[in-house]
Amino acid sequence: MDSQRSLWAWGLESQEPTREQLQQAASRLAAKYKVNLVPAAPPGSDVIELRPPRARVPRALAAFTSTGTRTRAFHSYGHSFRDRVRKFHGSYPNPVDAVAAPRNEDELSAVLDWCSSKGYAALPFGGGSSVVGGVEPPQSVPGAVSVDMSSMGQVLEGDTVSRAARIQAGTFGPAIERHLKPHGLTLRHFPQSFEFSTLGGWIATRSAGHYATNQTHIEDFVKSVRMVTPSGVWASRRLPGSGAGPDPNRYVAGSEGILGVITEAWVRVQASPRRRASAGVEFPSFAQAAAAARAIVQTKLWPANCRVLDEGEAQVAAGMDGSRALLVLGFESADVPQDGPMQVALDIARENGGMQNAGDKGAARGQDAVALWRRSFLEMPFVWNTLLGLGLINDTFETAVTWDRWSQFHEQVRAATFDALRRVCGGGMVTCRFTHLYPDGPAPYYTFTGLGKQGSEMEMWAEVKAAASEAVISSGGTITHHHAVGRDHRPWYDRERPDLFAGALRAAKKALDPIGVMNPGVLIEP
Amino acid sequence: MDSQRSLWAWGLESQEPTREQLQQAASRLAAKYKVNLVPAAPPGSDVIELRPPRARVPRALAAFTSTGTRTRAFHSYGHSFRDRVRKFHGSYPNPVDAVAAPRNEDELSAVLDWCSSKGYAALPFGGGSSVVGGVEPPQSVPGAVSVDMSSMGQVLEGDTVSRAARIQAGTFGPAIERHLKPHGLTLRHFPQSFEFSTLGGWIATRSAGHYATNQTHIEDFVKSVRMVTPSGVWASRRLPGSGAGPDPNRYVAGSEGILGVITEAWVRVQASPRRRASAGVEFPSFAQAAAAARAIVQTKLWPANCRVLDEGEAQVAAGMDGSRALLVLGFESADVPQDGPMQVALDIARENGGMQNAGDKGAARGQDAVALWRRSFLEMPFVWNTLLGLGLINDTFETAVTWDRWSQFHEQVRAATFDALRRVCGGGMVTCRFTHLYPDGPAPYYTFTGLGKQGSEMEMWAEVKAAASEAVISSGGTITHHHAVGRDHRPWYDRERPDLFAGALRAAKKALDPIGVMNPGVLIEP
C-alpha cells in the first residue's frame, strides 16, 4: 500500500531529493536571502521510533492489518506544511496504532466494528495527500486505526453509452485514467495531488480539479456513492439527476470520513478531448486580468482552463518579468473545434486590457508561459521537497469570494499575510492566482514564502497561517475552496458554517456512527 | 395572500373556465371518446364548509394569521390531480386550521414557536403549486398551520458585479423577473408553475426550470440560504464555491419544509439573453430523436433548450402528424452569437436521422412546432382547468434514468402505465418528452390520459399513478426529477433513497425541529 512512497517527501522514495540536491537548494536559498544556511540532511527511515501500538489486532483482521513501524509512520500524517516538517524531522509523537487495508466491504465493516467495540478512532486514508490534518490521529483516544483504501482500487465497470464508470474509492488518479483510456474516455480530474490521491479521497474532501469553470468539484461528477458506516452500508441509486429530497450524494461529498468510508462511486466520464485551443494573455495588472476573467466566465463560454496569475506568480511559475499578470486560457472538446469560443474569449480579454495573445506578436511568449505554468504546477511539490529543513516557511491556501468583494478581499488577505510574514520572517512574498472561476466569483489561491529559523518552522508557519485564515474569514471568503477542513481549518470553519448546520451534521453523524469512531475531531467537535 | 387566486382552478379567479367553457370541453371530450358526458358545473366558493379551526390564534400572531374559510380552503391543497378533483368538488375533510403569513423572520419564529408549543404541524406554503401533497396537512395532528410566505416577497438586494440577487423566499416568479429586468438581468427559472410559485418553494423542492442541460435545478443557482427553524435561524455564507465540509445549501435544497422555512436566498442571475438560435428537428422515431439528443448533450454544447417530444407529444403539443418525433433546440447568450453551436447541434441531429431543420425546406415547419410547443407548455394547466369534473384521468409524472437503461426503462414504464389505463379506463394515451438532459441520461416526462368515471376519478387515478410509479422505481429511475416527494411519492421514495440517509436526515430534522412540527410526514416518517 505504501511500498514505494517516500516517508517524508512528496512522491516515491526514488523521487526523494538527494543529499546533493538538498545542499544545492540550501546554497540557492542562502544566496537569495543573503544568509548562511546549514544544509539539511535527508532523514533516514531506519531511525524512526514510534510509541508501541496501543491496539492489538484481532486475528480476523490480521491478514490485512499491519502495526509495522514504517507503515504506521507513513499513515500518521498527510502532506501539509506541518506534516512535511514533522516527517522531515522524524517527529511522530502521536502515531496511528495500526493500519488496516481492507480488500472488500466486509473486511472494512469488520474494521469499523473493531474500532466501535474498542472506541478506537477510524481514520480513512486514500493517498495521504491531505494538507489539512485530515488523516492524522486525534489526541485522547485509546487507539487510532488508519483505514487504507488502496486495496480497493479497481475500476469495476464502464458504461460507454451513458459515459460513466463505477470505480472503487481507493483507485489512484493514474489508474483511473489508464483504465478509461482504451475506451476513449477520461474522468479529467487532475488535482495537483493527482498521482498520489484517490477517488474516495477526492469525494470525501470535495476536491476540485481540471476544470476551471462550470463543473469544477468532483461531486459535480458523482452519480452515486457506496459508503460503509459503523451502522451499515449507505448506497445511493445511480441517476443522472433527481429532485427527490436532499441529494444523498451531497451528504457524503465533503464529509471527510466522519460519517463512514466511501468504497465506490459511479462517476461521469468524458470523451477524451482531441480538439484543443490554448492561449496566454498578458495584462498590465492582476486587477485587469481578473476583470477579463470575470467577463469571460460571465459570458458562460465555460473554458476548461481559465487561470489568472498575478505578477509574482507569473514570474515564478511562468517565467515572466514580474511586471505583468497572465491569463491562461484553454478550451477542449472531443469533437468540436474550439477556435470559435477561444476567439470570443481572446476578444473579451483584449477589450479588458489584454496585451498579447495568440493572434499578436506576443503569441509565442504567451504560449510559452502556458507551457511553463503547467510544468511548474506539476513540479511544485517536488521542488518543495528540496526546501525542507532550511527554515523556509512556504505554504499555500485557497478560498473563494464573490466578485463584488474580491478587490478589497485581496487587499486585506494579502496585507494580513504579508504583515505576518514580516513579523515572523522579516519579510517574504505573497502571490496569488485564480485556480477556478465562477460567474459570481473567483477561487483565489495564495502562496506565501518567507525564510524563518531552522527548527522553528512550525510555530512561525502557524502564525502566518492563522493571520491569513483570519483575514480570509473576516473578509467574506471560505476557509477552503478545495483543500478541505480537516483538523487544521477547524477554528475558521467553525465560524464559516451555519451553527445549526453543524448541529444537523453532528446528529446525522451520531445516527450513522453512534460510538463516534469515524475521524473524530475532523469537521465538527465529536 | 390569495386574494385573486382561484379556489379550484390553476391561476386567478378571472382565469377560471366559465360554465360555457366547461360545457364545450364536455362536448369535445364526449365526441372524442364517443360517450355521453354530463357537463360539470363550476364549483361555488360560497358553499365550502370546513371543520371549525382546531387552533385558537394567539393575540401576538393575530395581525398576520387568519382562520377565514376561504383562506384555509385555499391553503389546504396544492395542485396535484387529487387536489384538483377535491377542490373542484369542494371536498375538504382535513383542512388547515389557520394560515399565518409572517412579514419577517421574527413573526415566522413566533409562528413556529406557537406550533412547537401546541404540537401543531407547520406547513410551509409558497405558491401552492405542489403536485405531490407537499402543502397538505397530515392526519392525526392536533392542529395544522399553513405558513404562507407571500408577505416576505421582496427582491432585497442586487449585485450586478457578481451577477447575484438576494431574494425573499415568498417572491413569485414574475416579481423576480420584474425586479431584475431593469438591470439587464434575469434568473431564468421558468418552471411551468412560474407564475404561481415562489423562490422558496423552488429551493425546498429542487425545482428544475428553464435550462434543459448543464445547470438545471434551482440549487445550482443558490449561493446561500436563510432558513428559520424551530431551533433558530440557519444562515449560510454567500460564496461562489467552497469545499468546506458538506454543502449546507444542499441540506436545505429538497428538504421540502421538514427542517424549517426558507426565508431568503442569494441566487446567481444572468445577463438577459439577446442572442438566440432555436430550431425544431423532426425524426422518424422517438428513439432516433433520443439518440440525437444524447449525442448533443454528450458533446457538451449545453443548449438552453434541448427537449425531445415523442410522436404523441409532438402531435398534441406541437401540431405534428403523430408519425414523427420532434427535437426542440435552443441556444442563448447575452453577448455571443449562437449560430455556431446551433449548427454543430443540427449537424449532430442530422447524422442521427434528423429530417428537417432550420437549414432545410422543412425549417418553417420545425420553427412553427417550436412556437406551438412553447405556447402549449404554458397553456396546459389552463386547458386542464376545463377538463375537471368530467371523469378524465389526466396527469403527468417525471423521472430521470441513465442512457444505458433508457430504452428498456421507457418500454416498461410506458407499458405499465398503459396497462393500468386499460384496466381502469378501458384505454387511453401515454406520451413522453424529455424536459432535461444530462450527459449520462435523460429526464423523461410522461403524460397519461384516459376517460374514467365521473365521481371515481381519484381511485382510478391512484391505480394508474401507482402502476407508473412502481415501474419507474423497479426499472431504475427516480420517483421525481423535479416535482418533489411530498406525501404522495413517499412509498416509492422510501425504496429509492438509502435507508441510512433517511436515518441521517431524520436525525438532522430532530436536531433542528425537536418537537417534529415541520411538515411532518413529508419525505420521511415523523
Interface of B with A in 149-178 (CB under 8 A): 159, 161-164
Nine cell digits for residue A254: 465533503
CB-based contact B302 A299, cutoff 8 Å: no
* Rg of chain B, C-alpha, whole Å: 23
Nine cell digits for residue B343: 449548427
The domain over range A275-474 is classified in CATH as 3.30.70.3040: no
- Which chain B residues contact residue A248 at CB under 8 A? 497-498, 501
Mean pLDDT of chain B: 94
**pLDDT digit string (tens) for A271-284?**
999 999 999 999 99
Name the closest residue on chain B to residue A502, using Cα atoms.
Answer: B248
In 3D, which of B152, B157, B247, B267 has the Cα closest to residue B202? B267
* A479 touches B: beta carbon within 8 Å: yes
Q: How far apart are CA B116 and CA B58, in angstroms?
A: 13
Q: Residue B73 in contact with residue B43, Cβ under 8 Å?
A: no
The pLDDT value given to residue A39? 86
β-strands B121-125, B144-148 pairing: parallel
- Which chain B residues contact residue A205 at CB under 8 A? 243
β-strands A144-148, A98-100 pairing: parallel
Q: How far apart are CA B452 and CA B393, in angstroms?
A: 6
* A503 touches B: beta carbon within 8 Å: yes
Using CB atoms within 10 A of its CB, is residue A322 exposed (0-12), middle (13-18) or buried (19+)? Answer: exposed
Write the CB contacts of A411 (distance below 8 Å, at least 6 apart in sequence). none
The pLDDT value given to residue B264? 98
Query: What's the fold here for domain B155-271?
Result: 3.30.465
Out of A163, A217, A254, the one facing B440 most closely (by C-beta) is A163
Q: What is the mean pLDDT of residues B495-521?
A: 98
pLDDT band at residue B323, thresholds of 50, 70 and 90? very high
Residue B360 predicted with pLDDT over 70: no
Out of B246, B334, B402, the one facing A253 most closely (by C-beta) is B246
**pLDDT digit string (tens) for A288-298?**
999 999 999 99
- Which chain B residues contact residue A441 at CB under 8 A? 162, 239-241
* A206 touches B: beta carbon within 8 Å: yes
* B489 touches A: beta carbon within 8 Å: yes
The pLDDT value given to residue A47? 82
Nine cell digits for residue B360: 432545410
- Considering only B304-313, B362-371, B401-410, which range has the smallest mean pLDDT? B362-371
| Amino acid present at B417 | T
Provide the shortest C-alpha distance from residue A260 to chain B (in Å): 11
CB-based contact A243 B481, cutoff 8 Å: yes
CB-based contact A251 B440, cutoff 8 Å: no
CB pairs < 8 Å spanning A and B: 291
Q: How far apart are CA A128 and CA B31, in angstroms?
A: 72
Residue range B13-148, CATH number: 3.30.43.10
- Which chain A residues contact residue B255 at CB under 8 A? 245-246
- Considering only A371-375, B18-22, B130-134, which range has the smallest mean pLDDT? A371-375
Q: What is the mean pLDDT of residues B319-330?
A: 93
The pLDDT value given to residue B363? 42
CB-based contact A162 B237, cutoff 8 Å: no
Q: How far apart are CA B42 and CA B8, in angstroms?
A: 9
Interface of B with A in 19-38 (CB under 8 A): none
CB-based contact B246 A236, cutoff 8 Å: no
**pLDDT digit string (tens) for A216-257?**
999 999 999 999 999 999 999 999 999 999 999 999 999 999
Out of B245, B335, B508, the one facing A299 most closely (by C-beta) is B335
**pLDDT digit string (tens) for B39-84?**
888 887 778 999 999 999 999 999 999 999 999 999 999 999 999 9
- Which chain B residues contact residue A234 at CB under 8 A? 498, 500-501
CB-based contact B251 A501, cutoff 8 Å: yes
CA dihedral B220, B223, B227, B232 (to 10 degrees): 140
**pLDDT digit string (tens) for B187-239?**
999 999 999 999 999 999 999 988 999 999 999 999 999 999 999 999 999 99
The pLDDT value given to residue A365? 53
Using CB atoms within 10 A of its CB, is residue B183 exposed (0-12), middle (13-18) or buried (19+)? Answer: middle
* B contact test, residue of A229, A272, A336 with most B CBs within 10 A: A336
* B403 touches A: beta carbon within 8 Å: yes
Residue B362 predicted with pLDDT over 50: no
pLDDT band at residue B26, thresholds of 50, 70 and 90? very high
The pLDDT value given to residue B373? 75
* B47 touches A: beta carbon within 8 Å: no
β-strands A98-100, A65-66 pairing: antiparallel
* A261 touches B: beta carbon within 8 Å: no
Provide the shortest C-alpha distance from residue A385 to chain B (in Å): 26
Write the CB contacts of B360 (distance below 8 Å, at least 6 apart in sequence). none
Which helix (H) or strand (E) segment is A439 a member of?
none
* B182 touches A: beta carbon within 8 Å: no
**pLDDT digit string (tens) for A45-59?**
778 999 999 999 999
The pLDDT value given to residue B366? 54
Residue B436 predicted with pLDDT over 60: yes
CB-based contact B255 A242, cutoff 8 Å: no
Count of C-beta atoms within a 10 Å radius of residue B106: 10
Q: How far apart are CA B15 and CA B12, in angstroms?
A: 5
pLDDT band at residue B368, thresholds of 50, 70 and 90? low
pLDDT band at residue B481, thresholds of 50, 70 and 90? very high
DSSP-derived letter for residue B396 is E
| Amino acid present at B100 | A
Q: Residue A405 in contact with residue A464, Cβ under 8 Å?
A: no
ipTM computed for the complex: 0.96
**pLDDT digit string (tens) for A300-334?**
999 999 999 999 999 988 888 999 999 999 999 99
Residue A361 predicted with pLDDT over 50: no
Interface of A with B in 458-477 (CB under 8 A): 476-477
Q: How far apart are CA B264 and CA B63, in angstroms?
A: 22
In 3D, which of A153, A164, A256 has the Cα closest to residue A196? A153
DSSP-derived letter for residue B399 is -
Residue A416 predicted with pLDDT over 90: yes
Which helix (H) or strand (E) segment is B249 a member of?
helix B248-252
- Which chain B residues contact residue A506 at CB under 8 A? 511
The angle that helices B81-88 and B457-474 make with each other, rounded to 10 degrees, is 170
The angle that helices B363-385 and B311-318 make with each other, rounded to 10 degrees, is 80
CB-based contact B162 A440, cutoff 8 Å: yes
DSSP-derived letter for residue A362 is T
- Considering only A66-75, B39-48, B182-191, B401-410, which range has the smallest mean pLDDT? B39-48
Q: How far apart are CA B54 and CA B67, in angstroms?
A: 10
Out of A241, A334, A400, the one facing B438 most closely (by C-beta) is A241
CB-based contact A237 B207, cutoff 8 Å: no
The alpha-helical segments, DSSP class H, found in A19-91 are 19-33, 69-74, 81-88
* A contact test, residue of B166, B183, B239 with most A CBs within 10 A: B239
Q: How far apart are CA A433 and CA A446, in angstroms?
A: 7
Which residues, in sequence order, are bridge partners of residue A432? A446
Name the closest residue on chain A to residue B342, using Cα atoms.
Answer: A336
- Which chain A residues contact residue B239 at CB under 8 A? 400-402, 441, 477-478
Which residues, in sequence order, are bridge partners of residue B345? none
* B415 touches A: beta carbon within 8 Å: no
Q: Under DSSP, is residue A73 helix (H, G, I), strand (E, B) or coil? A: helix
In 3D, which of B159, B104, B124 has the Cα closest to residue B513? B124
* B216 touches A: beta carbon within 8 Å: yes
CB-based contact A240 B510, cutoff 8 Å: no
Name the closest residue on chain A to residue B331, using Cα atoms.
Answer: A300
**pLDDT digit string (tens) for A207-217?**
998 899 999 99
Tell me what percent of chain A is helix, strand and coil, each rounded to the nearest 5: 40, 20, 40
* A441 touches B: beta carbon within 8 Å: yes
In 3D, which of A517, A470, A522 has the Cα closest to residue A228? A517
pLDDT band at residue A357, thresholds of 50, 70 and 90? low
**pLDDT digit string (tens) for B419-432?**
999 999 999 999 99
Out of B162, B244, B404, the one facing A403 most closely (by C-beta) is B162
Name the closest residue on chain B to residue A304, using Cα atoms.
Answer: B300
In 3D, which of A212, A367, A301 has the Cα closest to residue B240? A212
CB-based contact A512 B497, cutoff 8 Å: no
- Which chain A residues contact residue B504 at CB under 8 A? 251, 259, 507-508, 511-512
Q: Residue A382 in contact with residue A15, Cβ under 8 Å?
A: yes
pLDDT band at residue B414, thresholds of 50, 70 and 90? very high
- Which chain B residues contact residue A442 at CB under 8 A? 240
* A17 touches B: beta carbon within 8 Å: no
Residue of higher predicted confidence among A75 and B378? A75
How remote is the C-alpha of B30 from its chain's centroid?
30
Provide the shortest C-alpha distance from residue B402 to chain A (in Å): 6
Q: Under DSSP, is residue B185 helix (H, G, I), strand (E, B) or coil? A: strand
The pLDDT value given to residue A115? 98
CA angle B479, B483, B485 (to 5 degrees): 55
In 3D, which of A525, A487, A484, A481 has the Cα closest to residue A506? A525
The pLDDT value given to residue B38? 87
* B519 touches A: beta carbon within 8 Å: no
Q: How far apart are CA B439 and CA B403, in angstroms?
A: 9
Write the CB contacts of B343 (distance below 8 Å, at least 6 apart in sequence). none
Write the CB contacts of A131 (distance below 8 Å, at least 6 apart in sequence). A78, A79, A80, A81, A83, A483, A486, A488
Residue B359 predicted with pLDDT over 70: no
* A274 touches B: beta carbon within 8 Å: no
Residue B356 predicted with pLDDT over 90: no
Q: What is the mean pLDDT of residues A342-368?
A: 73
Nine cell digits for residue B166: 438576494
Q: How far apart are CA B370 and CA B366, in angstroms?
A: 6
Predicted TM-score (pTM) of the model is 0.96
Q: Map grid coordinates 419507474 to a residue.
A: B472
Exposure of B42 in the CB half-sphere (CA atoms within 13 A) = 21
**pLDDT digit string (tens) for A56-66?**
999 999 999 99
